[in-house]
Amino acid sequence: MDNFILLNKKKLFSFLNLLYVKNYGIAFSLLSSNSIFEYWLIITLSVLIIFIIFIKLYISDIYDIKLIISMLFILGGAIGNLVNRIINGYVIDFIDLHIKNYHFATFNFADFFIFFGVFLLFLNDKF
């Protein structure tokens, strides 16, 4: 992203843009005032989520492949965003989906993995 200017938009398709955004908060830029308390709160919550998923995978039925796959998607996304936040101090979001003038919140692949993992959990009634 070194050659991509902040908030610069590159149109790929009629419904998809690349938009370079620095997300200092959590989902949908909540807690984005960038105070030291919020920074550590976000990291603590991320580590807690990763820990809970590890525990859930450890005590789950090893033969429940659907549960394992969905948890691994969530875990991969959480770790990806956590590493991005630790290295940069923020998460880089760049996928801008839209229909006409309605834009969904800008996100990244890690966010998509988390969403997809939760979606799989709902499909399999594992909550």
Catalogue the active-site residues: 93, 111
Using CA atoms, how far residue 98 sits from 13, 40, 102, in Å, is 10, 32, 5
Residues 14-34, buried b or exposed e (16+ Cβ, 10 A)? eeebebbbbbbbbeeeebeee
Helices H / strands E in the chain, number of each: 3, 4
Report the alpha-carbon distance of residue 114 to residue 24 in Å, rounded: 18
